[in-house]
Amino acid sequence: MIAAPTLLPDHRRHDIDALRALAFLLVILYHVAMYYVADWPWHLKSPHAAEWLQWPMRVINLWRMDLVFLISGVSLGFLSRNQGTWSLLRSRGARLMLPLALGMAVIVPYQAYAEGVANGLVAPGFGAFLPRYLSMSNPWPKQAFAGAEFGITWNHLWYLPYLFTYTALIALTLPLWKSPAGQWMRRSFNGLRGWKLLLLPALPLLVWTMLLARHFPPTHNLIRDFYLHSIFFTVFLYGYWMGADTGVWRELARLRRVSLAMAAVAIAAFIVLRLGAQGPPSGVPMDTLRMLYLWLAVAAILGYGHRHLNRPWPWLRWANESVYPWYVLHQTLIIAGIALLAPLALGPVLEPTLLVALTIAGCWALTDGVIRRFNWLRPLFGLKPRRARCKAEITSPAEPLPPEPGWRSPSPRA
């Protein structure tokens, strides 16, 4: 018999807020590294591209967006306790779709322009590029920029429509999740303890991988991204189930050292098998190691986060409100920084250091100096108006967690 979950009091989950902020800091570093990693397609590529970056990038890439979607599911688990279907759809729709629309119309176009110029398929001159891009009536050469075949792209903002889709699926089926059958599923997941919590959640991920991965490679185009949908929605659902249940969070914290050690063993075995493979690695052993590593890494991060980060850090309120605008802005600022620094030929150490610094400085200046100061701008970057914010900070958990590469996948998950 599985005990009913014990709910946390109505206060912010500081560990979720902190993990959200730290995960996004990792995204900035990851996207800067995408410019420098050899043989992985991205909008622009550095002449200093390095092959050694592939392995640390791959080790991170196997779990980073899964962690993002799980934390977003946790957020929805809190929010859905006090809202019905249509209230959730209205609030989440405005919170996610307004920044997407603004980003596609104002923030992302420079990325497409810079990529098109670098590819030699777009004439220099952003003033001439922008009206044609926004009109979507004059098609671009297919290889001009990521998403050129659609005329307009969302690039790194792909996370927002994916998150809204998963949120809508949960919201439209709320009666199912609140039914006895739905509550049994939630209790069954949250009742996992010991080895079961460390291994069983990886099984659905392994099944989806074996069934879908080779037939539907990642695209980030929403419509035919069936494999990524199966993985991302599954971990999103895990987060939704976990929500405010204290038992499963305590167990993750208790098992944090074990899950970290098992994750290290899984990724070490994965690397050894991949390095020894003749041609692209495939098969059940590789898929099993990937999905085990994915879940164990996420479990370790959640466990350590719950153990060490669940406190009101002085920087947390600022970071929690800054994450969303930084997410919307950061990749365009990276591209602009590349355009500024690349002609200076500063080398493979100073240039990336300055690129990270410029990106962070630009995000901070635009967010704290402009976006957070004007109520009419705040909703366009996913922020609540100032007057509505104070009460929300007392009772709401973390907001959905933004990030990630462009329209297309930078590299297979293996």
pLDDT, greater one: 390 or 316:
316
Least confidently predicted of 192-196, 314-318, 405-409: 405-409
Least confidently predicted of 69-83, 244-258, 366-380: 69-83
Alpha-carbon distance of 329 to 57, in angstroms, equals 22
pLDDT of residue 83: 82
Single-letter residue type at 283: G
- Spatial neighbors of 231 by CB under 8 A, at least 6 apart, are 66, 205, 208, 209
Q: What are the tens digits of pLDDT across the range 164-223?
A: 999 999 999 999 998 999 999 999 999 999 999 999 999 999 999 999 999 999 988 898
Dihedrals phi, psi of 160, to nearest 5 degrees:
-65, -50
Alpha-carbon distance of 259 to 304, in angstroms, equals 10
Q: What percent of the chain has pLDDT over 70?
A: 89
Question: How sure is the predictor about 78, in pLDDT bands with cuts at 50, 70 and 90?
Answer: confident
- Coil vs helix vs strand at 140: coil
pLDDT of residue 151: 84
CA dihedral sign, ordered 18, 23, 26, 27? negative
Quick one: tokens of 268? 């070490």
Quick one: tokens of 342? 């690349």
Average pLDDT over residues 342-348: 95
CA dihedral sign, ordered 203, 208, 211, 217? negative
Average pLDDT over residues 50-65: 95
Alpha-carbon distance of 280 to 23, in angstroms, equals 29
Q: What are the tens digits of pLDDT across the range 298-311?
A: 999 999 999 999 99
pLDDT of residue 279: 59
Quick one: tokens of 251? 């167990």
Average pLDDT over residues 31-42: 96
Decide if 39 contacts 23 (C-beta within 8 A).
Answer: no
Alpha-carbon distance of 243 to 252, in angstroms, equals 13
Q: Give bridge partners of residue 50 from the DSSP assignment.
A: 37
* Closest-CA residue to 139 (of 129, 148, 126, 131): 148
pLDDT of residue 195: 97
pLDDT of residue 282: 67
- pLDDT at residue 1 is higher than 50: no
pLDDT, greater one: 412 or 143:
143
- Coil vs helix vs strand at 411: coil
DSSP one-letter string for 283-318: SHHHHHHHHHHHHHHHHHHHHHHHHHS-S--TTHHH
Q: What are the tens digits of pLDDT across the range 259-303?
A: 999 999 999 999 998 887 765 666 889 999 999 999 999 999 999
* Closest-CA residue to 341 (of 358, 329, 317, 326): 358
- pLDDT at residue 86 is higher than 70: yes
pLDDT of residue 413: 42
pLDDT of residue 235: 98
Q: How many CB atoms lie within 10 A of CB 313?
A: 14
- Coil vs helix vs strand at 342: helix
- pLDDT at residue 409 is higher than 60: no
Average pLDDT over residues 365-383: 95
Which residue has 């590789």 as its token pair? 286
* Closest-CA residue to 320 (of 309, 333, 331): 309
- pLDDT at residue 5 is higher than 70: no
Question: How sure is the predictor about 3, in pLDDT bands with cuts at 50, 70 and 90?
Answer: very low
Alpha-carbon distance of 293 to 281, in angstroms, equals 16
- Write down the mean pLDDT value for the chain: 88
Dihedrals phi, psi of 139, to nearest 5 degrees:
-60, 150
Alpha-carbon distance of 46 to 301, in angstroms, equals 32
pLDDT of residue 79: 84
End-to-end CA distance of the chain: 39
Average pLDDT over residues 238-254: 94
pLDDT of residue 12: 73
Which residue has 């199966």 as its token pair? 230
Least confidently predicted of 125-129, 260-264, 342-346, 399-403: 399-403
